[in-house]
Structure formats: structure tokens, C-alpha cells
Structure 1
């Protein structure tokens, strides 16, 4: 709509190449909005995406260098189909700029995702098991039309990410608001306290594989954050509250769940919960929350996309 408005008021030409250049230059533009627009499935959006990718100079850059440039020019959207279209366009253009580096664009596509996932694993403080180079090699075995990529090439890419993480554009500085812009689910629920067993009404937001809770819908900072990694969710009965469900760690019974909250002084402290018991207003609402949380726990679009592409390669060979 923003692009259409600029065209109608003759601020921007309707030429697709000009629109792509405008987005690539990106002065004062919201990079999350750029990512959402470029990932659109409309044929016009796809053509603009291809022209946008072609604005990048990838010749003689290794794959990490090219990804650094590409991922800084917009914010990668969360929807798997949008990510797929954008990374497909990236892989095609990189291979066109650097013929002979990979045997196919599929190789470039899969390796790009491996590098993005490696970046997360190495630099996300929530990931304790940091991958070694040997694991990176193992993950990428046979991706070059059934053959292996040169170990020296993989070593250079691995060391580059290890030494310097990707810079991801933040449209709103340190404000968490952008995280909650398009949540998987949000709503009022009752939460049982961890240390003091009282029920309190909280505004919950489920997004980015985390469950956040706030005192009010207008709050910018959450009272607590519960990363859903390694957790499970189940329906439970409670004599005092109806429609309950529980977040728990099936592998570490009796241990506190890895989470954080703000105390009365506004300091961030470790959560006190061995499990989180939550009550919804209706049975239907409870079931919808359970389903949404389960989906969030299991859903990782990067792994799904790489898995689908590897199956495609295997069926060719």
C-alpha cells in the first residue's frame, strides 16, 4: 500500500526496476516492511524481488560475505513461504555472479540456510550446545549434487561466522515492540505464581518460539519471558481453576524452567517455576493455546525448508 501511495502521488515511478532500487537504497524505510513486501507471492512482488536481489554486487564474494550484504538490506520475514522465495532468488543471483562455485543453485540455497542456522547456534545465548566445525561439515555432506563441498571452503565460511555474527537490522533500536508486531497468538490468561501460589491475570503473547506475559496490553516490556525450547505443553485439571494447561520440561522433572522475569525493582531475575500452570476462559480457548504453543515449539521454517530441498535433490539423483 505504501508503494502504491508513492506511485499514485508521483513520488516513485511504477517501473519495477525503479521500485527495486528505491527499496534497496532503503533510506528511512522500515526494513521489516521491505522484507514482508519482497516476500509477497504476487507476480509483481516476485519480479521486484528479483530486481532487488540483482541490485547487490556478489561477484567474487564468498557466500558469507554475500549473505551479510543481503541480510542487512531488509529484515527476513517469519513466514516460511516468504523466506523460501527470498532465499531462492538470492541463491540464483549468487550463482549467476559466481559461476562454477557450486554445481547447482540448490547447493547454494541449502548452504545459505546452514550458515544462517550456524549463526544462530553459535551466537544465541540460549543455545548451550555450540556446534563444532565437524558438525557443520557433517550437516552439509552430499549437498553439491550428491558430492561434498571442499573442506577449505566450509572452514572459511564457518570461521567467518564464528568470528563475526550477522548484523540483523533492528527497526526499533532495543525496543521489543517489533517482536510482538505479528504474534502467533495473544490474549488474557490467568497464571499461577511460581513462589507465591496466587492466580494473576496477565496478557500473553506467543511469538518467535517464546511466550511473553505482561501486566497490561499497552506495556512495552514484558513481566516475564519463557523460551519454549525443550518444553512441552499439556492439558491439566486444577480444583480451583477450570480450563488449565501446563508448560513443563519432560526431560528435567523437578528443575526450574529456564526463564526470566522482572522483580518489584524492575531488575531481570531468573524465573521460579518448575512448570507454568495457566488457565483460559473457555475449554476452546485452552485447546487453541495448547495447539498454538505446540506448533511454535516444533516449527522451525529453516530446518523444514532445508529438509524439503534435500529431499528434492535426493529424488533427482
Structure 2
């Protein structure tokens, strides 16, 4: 790998489009190692250009095939089945545009009931795309969400079982407001089908969130202190119209979740967008090791509120993963390094992270801080700003606390 001086020198070379004689005369001004590095860069560029051309050809072929699916050999529109197949592919790429296509082709009726049935059947649709559509705030989407929920049968069903079925029919979006709307509609419908179980639908809403949080605390390997049944009962005191829910109900929920965690809906691996496409930020940084405290260069990618690091920028799988939920960032001074910062949690807790060992085994990180340094103060400032914009608090905990405070305020509970 070229040194910092040679890298900066190489960046000042004229563009590759110049004359070969000019390129050769410029190259002779550099040492043998720099010339070798430049030659390697040019070879890599040529290989990348070939790969880009190949990908463009593949995209063109796929576009042609999709266009040809719209019509038969005689130029007439294809059958409804073929149009639906195209519509599903478009929906998985962009739910709004995909649905517009199917409505224009009149293979779906422009009614919330018909769209809800299409999503509930789910044939050929990714559950992520279904969740994205159901979470949109538009009035039509919200009516579709209501009809989608009403296609479920929760009558005479325990809350945990109803949640398992509901959360398997689509994938919850990441935005807290969307999750809040979905869970509120679920709670209202569950109470309609199971009268007398809860004093209000708000009580069902709060307990549903508490159950989801319980699933995390009992089954997430990064959670150090497992919640006990008594803690779960205490957490849900007074949520049923200022009264306590039956103890046996809460114990039954606790035992059910402890015995079997929620299976969150996941797609089959055919996602069209790769995990690291269009990241918030990426680049080379130096990371301090946990055991020996040595500094090693790693390729970092910041995307979707998660910080990934790789041994090489060409690796497909990350060496380590650091979720930024509840994580904070601050300056750090090191005697041997400049422009350092570190990630940490309050109360000196361990940062929730994992990494891959040499034998391929994935282990949980055991560090209270993750320390990184950049080459320049400007890079440090930009990385810290980007990471701060991606840190977040647990949405379930925040919404649960807000809802409980609001309900207690209106009921006069202090």
C-alpha cells in the first residue's frame, strides 16, 4: 500500500486521458515503489471499467426483458398473470410506483380492500416492501393498513399469539412514527375481537410494546441483564385503566416469550438493494484493538445507523459491526495518535457490537469504548458529525415511556 506521501503525490498526476508520452515522462519523477503503485492503480482502474461495462450490459438486457414482458409477440398487452408478475417486481423496488403500475393496468381495483387483500396474500412480495407501504401516512395507505389488519383473525387468541401472527405478516419499518401507527391500529382491532380483556385499547398498546421489549431483553445476546418475571410485572403496573392486569396473564406472557422468541419477518435474501449501497459515509480509518491496543487501518462504512468496518475496501463481509443505537461519541486523546474519537455508552456499559474471528466464528464485543482516529482534523470533524446524525435511542422504550406518561397524566395518576 502506498505511503501517505506517495498517495498524495499520485493524486496530483494528470488525468489518465493525457498522452502516453506525457504520462511516461511524469512517471519517471517518482521512485520505483511509487511507479509500481501507480501501475497497480491503473490496472485496477482498467479492471473496474471492464466490470462496469459488463454490469451496464446486464442491466440493459434485464430492462429489455422487462419491457418485452409488457407485450406479446404480436404487440398486444400480456395476460393479467404476466402483468401481475411485473407489478410485483416493481412493487419490491418501489411500493408506491409498483402499485400505481398495477392500478393503471387494472389488475387491481383502486380500493383499500382490494389492495389490502393483495398485500395480505403476499405472493411474490418482500415483507420489507409490504411494511414500507403500510407505514406511509397517506389517508389511502392508512385505510389499507386498517383493512390489512382486519384480514387477520385474533378472536379468542392470546395477545402473544396475535402479536406473533401480526409481526410475521410484514416487516416493521424503522421509523418510530410508522411503528406507533401500526401498533395502535393492531391494539384497537385486537380489543374489538377480544372484548373485556383490556380496559382500553391503550392498555393493549402499552402491553404489546412491553412484550416486544421483553423479547429483546430475553433473547438479544448483547443484553447483559436479563429481565425477570417480577421486573416485567412491576414494569406493567397500573396500565389497565389505572389498575393492574392479572398477574397470571403477565406471567403467562413472560413464560411464552422466554420459551420461544418472536420470529421477525425477514425476506428470503433476494433483496434488490445491497446492505452497503449509497452509505452515509465511508473511508479508511485507524481502529485501536481491544486486547493489545495497537492501531490498525480498517475500511469503515456508515449506513442505516450502523458502523461497519472491513479489513479491505474490497471485502464483501464486514470484520465488525457496531450498531449506533444509544451510542454516544466524544473526543479522545492518545499519546501516539492525533485526531482521535471514541464511541461509548453511559454508565460505562459495554458497546453492543460483534466481530468475526479468523476461524469465521462471530463473537460479541466486550469493549466499553471503540476508539478510532483519522488522518486530518477535517476528516475527524466530518466523521463525528456523520456518526452523531446516525445515533438513535431505542424507539420502543421511548414510545412506551411517552405513552405511559400521557395516559397517567390524563387519568390523574402521579
Q: TM-score range by the shorter chain?
A: 0.7 to 0.9
Cα pair 1:226 1:258 within 8 Å, conserved: yes
Q: What stretches of structure 2 of length at least 5 have no aligned partner?
A: 1-96
Structure 2 residue 287 is the aligned partner of structure 1 residue 187: no
Q: Establish whether residue 202 from structure 1 lines up as the match of residue 299 from structure 2.
A: yes
Mapped to 1, the partners of 2:250 and 2:354 lie a distance apart of 36
The structure 1 residue matched to 2:384, chosen from 275, 287, 290, is 287
Cα deviation, residue 178, structure 1: 7.1
SS at match of 1:226: strand
Deviation digits for residues 163-193 of structure 1 (CA, Å, limit 9, x no counterpart): 1111112214599x8766797x442240224
Paired position in structure 1 for 2:35: none
Give the Cα–Cα distance (whole angstroms) in 2 for the partners of residues 98 and 151 of structure 1: 19
- Structure 1 residue 212 displacement after superposition: 2.0
Deviation at 1:15, TM superposition (A): 1.6
Which has the higher relative contact order, 1 or 2, with Cα contacts under 8 A spaced 6 or more apart?
1
The answer as to 2:209 corresponding to 1:77 is no
2:397 is the alignment partner of 1:300: no
Quote the residue 1:144 is aligned against: 240
How far the C-alpha of 1:202 sits from its partner, in A, is 0.8
CA distance in 2, matches of 1:118, 1:159: 11
Distance 1:214-1:5 versus aligned 2 partners, 3 A rule: farther
1:28 aligned counterpart, secondary structure: coil
1:270/1:106 Cα in 2 relative to 1: closer, same or farther (>3 Å)?
A: closer
Correspondence for 1:54: 150
1:229 deviation in Å? 7.0
Match of 2:230 among 129, 134, 140: 134
Change (3 A) 1:150 1:263: closer
Query: Residue 245 of structure 1 contacts residue 290 of structure 1 at CA under 8 Å; is this kept in 2?
Result: no
**TM-score normalised by structure 2 residue count:** 0.67
Distance 1:16 1:273, change over 3 A: closer
1:261 offset after TM fit, Å? 2.8
Contact 1:243 1:286 in 2 (8 A): no
Q: Partners in 2 of 1:92 and 1:11 — Cα distance? A: 31
How far the C-alpha of 1:32 sits from its partner, in A, is 0.9
Q: Aligned partners of 2:313 and 2:371: how far apart in 1? A: 21
Per the alignment, do residues 239 and 51 of structure 1 end up closer, same or farther by CA in structure 2, a change over 3 Å counting?
same
Match of 2:88 in 1: none
Helix, strand or coil for the counterpart of 2:239?
Answer: coil
Larger mean CA deviation between 36-45 and 242-251 belongs to 242-251
* Cα contact 1:36–1:77 (8 A) shared by 2: yes
The alignment of Structure 1 onto Structure 2 pairs a total of residues equal to 309
1:33 aligned partner: 129
In proportion to residue count, which structure has more helix?
2
- By how many angstroms is 1:244 displaced? 2.7
Alignment RMSD: 3.0
Ranges in structure 1 where 5+ consecutive residues have no aligned partner: none
Mapped partners of 2:174, 2:117: distance in 1: 24
**TM-score normalized by structure 1?**
0.85
- Name which of structure 1's ranges 154-163 and 132-141 shifts more when overlaid on structure 2: 154-163
User: CA, structure 1 residues 216+91, in 2 after alignment: closer, same or farther (shift >3 Å)?
Assistant: farther
The answer to whether the 8 Å contact 2:331/2:340 transfers is yes
C-alpha distance in 2, partners of 1:165/1:141?
23
- SS state of the match for residue 137, structure 2? coil
Match of 1:310 among 387, 400, 404: 404
Quote the Cα distance in structure 2 between the aligned partners of 1:128 and 1:248.
16
What residue is the counterpart of 1:116 in the other structure? 212
